[in-house]
Amino acid sequence: MSGPVRAERDGAVLVLTLDRPAARNALDPALMGGLSEALRAADADPGVRAIVLTGAGTVFCAGLDLKAFAAGGDIRGLVWFYHRGTATPVVAALNGHALGGGFELALACDLAVAAEGAELAMTEVRRGLFASGGGTTLPARIPMALALEMGLTGDRVTAARALDMGLVNRVVPPGEVLGEACALAARIAANGPLGVAMTKRLMRERRWGSRAEVDEVFTSADAREGARAFAERRPPVWTGT
């Protein structure tokens, strides 16, 4: 894939790279459209069982491209991802700062590995806006007082502080971010895809599985394969059925 998003496949893991380093990977219509297309394609590919999202250069994503916004560009390209996400798990590899819409992009991912020195912030209020890409749901993840402080001040938090707050899963040296994120994604991809997708869905929705959802997974060919592989002491071969 060419354009503002690069895609590289490593087995069942797909790495998507925001590729506007000169603009600090700011989200303009082309980048949002390209990322939306890449995410939808990956989610529809049964061979992709985990996605890693990172940025080119030294910044993950500086947020909304304000020049494009001021010019009236369409900034709705990723609304579906912010709101619903993908069935396929997504690991954010925060190679640098994640600000404004870039922070919300990280929030829309399922797991996050951050570089030492990276900073996260909801900066929208500093531009007369609000975090419409999911930042206002932050109190579901961290204490209300901390969420309000981030949302109302626009102040940055360090990667170490984000780890303490539970906003990221790992903090590693900058040169190790992508490798750590890919290793995490590979561990996810090694598991049964139906079980992984259902676990993500139910955890995101904070609910028990329905009888139909339980039957969908527990009567699948993969469920039988998992049991056989355990009994035969071999790695399972998943088919996603």
Is the per-residue pLDDT at 54 higher than 70?
yes
Residue 110: other Cβ atoms inside 10 A: 19
What architecture (CATH level 2) is domain 5-189? Alpha-Beta Complex (3.90)
Is the per-residue pLDDT at 23 higher than 80?
yes
What is the mean predicted confidence (pLDDT) over 104-120?
97
Quick one: pLDDT at residue 73? 72
Residues 6+ positions from 182 with CB-CB distance below 8 Å: 10, 13, 15, 52, 91, 93
Contact 122, 103 (CB under 8 A): yes
Is the per-residue pLDDT at 158 higher than 80?
yes
Quick one: pLDDT at residue 2? 55
At 179-209, the pLDDT tens digits run: 999 999 999 999 999 999 999 999 999 999 9
Is the per-residue pLDDT at 161 higher than 90?
yes
Quick one: pLDDT at residue 52? 98
Range of lowest pLDDT (126-130, 214-218, 227-231): 126-130
What is the mean predicted confidence (pLDDT) over 213-235?
97
> Who wins on pLDDT, 70 or 42?
42
Quick one: pLDDT at residue 76? 82
What is the mean predicted confidence (pLDDT) over 136-154?
96
Quick one: pLDDT at residue 77? 85
Domain boundary assignment for the chain: 5-189, 193-232
> Who wins on pLDDT, 69 or 153?
153
Is the per-residue pLDDT at 1 higher than 60?
no
* pLDDT above 90 coverage of the chain, percent: 93
At 78-109, the pLDDT tens digits run: 999 999 999 999 999 999 999 999 999 999 99
* pLDDT above 70 coverage of the chain, percent: 99
Contact 116, 174 (CB under 8 A): yes
Quick one: pLDDT at residue 69? 78
Q: Which residues are catalytic?
A: 104, 124
Angle at 52 between CA 57 and CA 240, to 5 degrees: 160
Average pLDDT, the chain: 95
